[in-house]
Amino acid sequence: MKARHNAEPARPDADAGPTNLTKARPLVPLDSALFKDVNVAIQAKLGLATLSVEELLALRAGSVVKLDVRLNELIELRLNQSLVARGEIVAVDDHFGVRIVEIAEVA
């Protein structure tokens, strides 16, 4: 913090404290070489099913659990529990995949 204050004395918001940190230019940008080898897991979440404990205890092999998503609905891609994109289920060779339809701006 201190070093940056000294480097940019003319910035009007330089004294505004930590809440303005996101507005200031980051020290380490997301596309930095630093992150070249850092991987994150993006989770493909199909949907929710709300069952009572009674129903839950009655589940057996072969039981069908209906989810709250329609067949043609987009599914959610979550990064650390946060929704970051939506897409449709696709098959890629012998694996499932998700084709991104909706994604937030990088910010």
Partner 1 sequence: MTAQPWLPVDALVREAVRAPLDAAVRRWSARWFAGRSVGVPRLAAVPATERPRGDWRVYRRAAAIDCSRQARTRIADLGLDCSLDRLTLGEADRRLVDAFEREVLRDLSQTVEDALGVLGDWRPAPETPAEPLGRLGGATAGLADDRGAPLLTLALPQACLLPLCRESLGPPRPGEEPPGSRVRALASTPVALEAVLGQAEVALADLKALAPGDVLVLDTRLDGPALLRVAGAGRPVAEGVLTQDEDALALKLK
Applying CB under 8 A, which residues contact partner 1?
30-31, 35-54, 56-57, 59-71, 73, 75, 77, 79, 85, 87, 89-92, 94-103, 106
Which one, 2 or 60, has the nearer CB to partner 1?
Answer: 60
Which one, 11 or 86, has the nearer CB to partner 1?
Answer: 86
DSSP-derived 3-state class of residue 100: strand
User: CB neighbours of 3 closer than 8 A, spacing ≥ 6?
Assistant: none
Calculate the alpha carbon distances from 10 to 4, 38, 57 in Å. Answer: 11, 35, 65
**Residue 18 Cβ vs partner 1, minimum distance, rounded to whole Å:** 24
**Residue 21 Cβ vs partner 1, minimum distance, rounded to whole Å:** 19
**Tell me, what DSSP letter sits at residue 95?**
E
Question: Strand pairing partners for 81?
Answer: none
* Other Cβ atoms within 10 Å of 74 Cβ, number: 17
Which one, 11 or 73, has the nearer CB to partner 1?
Answer: 73
**Residue 27 Cβ vs partner 1, minimum distance, rounded to whole Å:** 16
**Residue 54 Cβ vs partner 1, minimum distance, rounded to whole Å:** 4
